[in-house]
Amino acid sequence: MAAVLTRDIVKKFNEVAAVDGISLRVPDGEFMVLLGPSGCGKTTFLRIICGLEQQTSGDLLIGGNIVNEIPPRARGVAMMFQSYGLYPHYTVRNNIAFPLRTQRVPREEIAKKVEWASQLLGIDHLLDRRPRQLSGGERQRVALARALVREPTALLLDEPLSNLDAKLRTSARQEIRNFQQRVGLTTIYVTHDQVEAMGMGDRIAVIDHGRVRQVGTPPEIYENPADLFVATFVGAPPMNIVSRNGGGYLGFRPENFLPRDMIEDGGATEFSFRVDRSEYLGSERIVYGVMEGFDSKQPITAKLPPAHVAEDSIRPGEWHPFAVKNSALRHFDTSGNRTTSH
């Protein structure tokens, strides 16, 4: 296990920069999530770390050593692919044993380690099957067992849950996280799903157009987004952004945008809000509308707490007094960067 450090990594495909200068430090044992929309360069960045792509410039350090020129097999990292990349002509046992065989580990030791990894992931009853005889969840575990069996310096995961159905995804998320904490493995996890990122990461790096927009713990990313991209990418529904008089933007989360009477006095900013549409989601109600005197590209959303869920006090088509606590307001300058810390 080792720390992974990148210094100003750039990767260009035909003069187009897919990765545009990423510097990132993943300390030993950390679970780092790379979060970004599809095509933002996060998978390319992961492939550079494991050595399947060569960076155009920049340095990559694993465990303190520069590994720019070192081939993938000597880097000691393990990677789990989106489609798992299991070997279809091998049994599960041989799939898991493969990374050890290429390292010429003695036979008895291979058997021992395969047993260890398969028990850890609860797939020891599947060892003699072939990948095509497994369900999606089982395949994912086999891929994980294969990645772990040789105790890699770092584990790289490329959207490992995207082939699972929604229910399985929730439990698999838990499993991967628990397992990572137990083994204490440095992990870099690529996803476009913010729920996975928020729920699993020790820290999140939000990436867009090949650049890191913000690195921080999930609460930091959510509460204090560094710029408009992070503010609108993280959170569902995303942060409300309105143009501010005198330039710049004002942002606030839908759950902080409440009817005036629900906010205790002191330090709140009032707005007049006209509800256009309202969605009942069981545990909450999301209302969409416009704010008097403010321009916004998207409809303004408010997430109303259970007290307001059942009743129809918020009627569409009417203007209501709403407010946001001043501590929940975020300010951005004209170029989209946050101007104040609170």
Partner 1 sequence: MPRPAARALRETGFYFGVAFFVILAAFPFYWMVITAFKQNSDLYDVTNIPFWFNEPPTLEHIKYLFEETLFARWLLNSLIIGLCVTAITLVTAVPAGYSLARMTSRKGEALGITIFLTYLVPPTLLFLPLSRIIAELGLQNSMWALVLVYPTFTIPFCSWLLMGFFKALPIEIEEAAIVDGCSLFGAFIKMAIPLSIPAILTVVIFTFTLTLQEFVYALTFVSSSDQKPITLGVTTDLIRGDVFFWGEIMAGALIAAIPVAIAYNLFLDRFIAGITGGAVK
Contacts with partner 1, residue ranges (CB under 8 A): 50-52, 71-73, 77-79, 81-89, 98-99, 102-103, 146, 150
Residue closer to partner 1 (CB basis): 75 or 192: 75
- One-letter amino acid identity for 136? G
CB of 232 to partner 1, least distance (A): 32
Residue closer to partner 1 (CB basis): 88 or 246: 88
Distances from the Cα of 78 to the Cαs of 94, 99, 140, in angstroms? 16, 9, 14
What is the token pair recorded at 45? 């960045």
CB of 237 to partner 1, least distance (A): 35
CB of 48 to partner 1, least distance (A): 13
239 Cβ contact partners less than 8 Å away, ≥ 6 residues apart: 225, 231, 232, 251, 252, 253, 254, 330
Type and span of the H or E element at 95:
helix 92-102
For residues 57 and 184, what is the distance between their CA atoms, to the nearest angstrom?
A: 30
Q: Are 187 and 32 within 8 A, CB to CB?
A: yes
**Which contacts qualify for 288-294: CB closer than 8 Å, 24 or more apart?**
291/242, 291/322, 292/319, 294/242, 294/243, 294/250
What is the three-class DSSP state of 178?
helix
Residue closer to partner 1 (CB basis): 102 or 313: 102
Residue closer to partner 1 (CB basis): 16 or 281: 16
Residue closer to partner 1 (CB basis): 140 or 256: 140
Residue closer to partner 1 (CB basis): 6 or 240: 6
CB of 121 to partner 1, least distance (A): 17
CB of 70 to partner 1, least distance (A): 13
Q: Are 197 and 33 within 8 A, CB to CB?
A: yes
CB of 47 to partner 1, least distance (A): 8
Strand partners, 211: 208
Q: Are 237 and 286 within 8 A, CB to CB?
A: yes
Residue closer to partner 1 (CB basis): 73 or 125: 73
For residues 270 and 221, what is the distance between their CA atoms, to the nearest angstrom?
A: 26
- One-letter amino acid identity for 61? L
What is the token pair recorded at 224? 């204090």
CB of 120 to partner 1, least distance (A): 18
